[in-house]
Chains A and B, each alone.
Chain A
């Protein structure tokens, strides 16, 4: 029999070794294989900010799509062929003149992975999670982002079953651009709200 202390010692095994041991035990039970892991990694790697950027560019050029995206992000993603089966419902937060949205998960790291891919390092950091709800303007200044004076920031703390992405405003000077060119302007941070498209930012 294993005591709680022995269990604790096992859990404190360096994570890389513990993971290898877990995989070996699970593989011996037929619960996971290297092929399944590889397939799952390939699927997960395919979800990336370029997916969300396609949605944003379409919304900038097609008012009906924009309305769909705001009403039902999941359907809007599927309409562009982005796989959403098994993903949590996607909510879309529309930036407008005078209103900016910033997404955070103060409890963990909830992120719209189906349309943006793996959450970035900063999104998971304690500093980001602590500061976003309390001083969002000071936080996004770390990316060099400065909003127009008088802009209200709506901070969305993603605590439960939805995942949230920001629909940023189309930058000025892009009249006549096609969808692909517009999509190339949209970065990961723009769809979380730490940056805005077309603004010189130091990272993202």
Chain B
């Protein structure tokens, strides 16, 4: 935290990055990065949930912004999306924690 840095405010949310001093000396990775199948599937699911009125983009963004700062910067772009989609669907009661836990157990092969 640096309250004297102009344009920097300790009340700033961590995703609100415009002009933030600690990133000014970071180079930009300009190389092309192909999206993975996982990335494209997450993107597609978000669109389907939006089109069917289950969850809006604004809600996706709220959920992304709710990820704690260290995690936010560690997770990949679409990993943040998955976390937010899960957060929103749980909050809205579209899926329950029990259902998710059972599905995770089934994936690991130790359920049912």
Interface residues of A (CB under 8 A from B): 2, 6-7, 10-11, 13, 15-26, 29, 31-32, 36-37, 40-41, 44-45, 86, 104, 106-109, 118, 120-122, 124-135, 139, 142-143, 157, 194, 202-204
Task: Check B30 against A142 for contact (C-beta < 8 Å).
Answer: yes
A88 to B7, CA, bound (A): 30
Verify A122–B95 contact, CB threshold 8 A. Answer: no
Query: Considering only CB atoms and an 8 Å cut-off, how many residues of chain B contact the other chain?
Result: 59
Instruction: List, sorted by A's number, 22 A–B pairs whose CB atoms are closer than 8 Å.
Output: A10-B97, A10-B100, A10-B104, A11-B86, A18-B104, A22-B85, A23-B45, A26-B95, A31-B52, A31-B54, A44-B43, A45-B40, A106-B17, A107-B61, A118-B35, A121-B33, A122-B28, A122-B30, A130-B23, A130-B26, A134-B7, A204-B30
Q: How far is the CA of A148 from the CA of B8 in the complex (A)?
A: 31
Report yes or no: A22 in contact with B89, Cβ–Cβ below 8 A: yes
Asked if B27 lies at the interface with its beta carbon under 8 angstroms from chain A, I say yes
Pair B87/A17 contact, Cβ less than 8 Å: no
A-binding residues in B (CB < 8 A): 7, 15-20, 22-24, 26-33, 35, 38, 40-45, 47-49, 51-52, 54, 61, 64, 73, 75-79, 82-83, 85-87, 89-90, 94-101, 103-104, 106-107
Q: A139 to B28: give the CA distance in the assembly, Å.
A: 8
Other than the given A20-B107, A121-B29, 13 more pairs (CB < 8 A) read: A6-B97, A10-B100, A11-B83, A22-B89, A40-B44, A40-B47, A44-B43, A106-B16, A107-B61, A127-B26, A134-B19, A135-B24, A142-B28
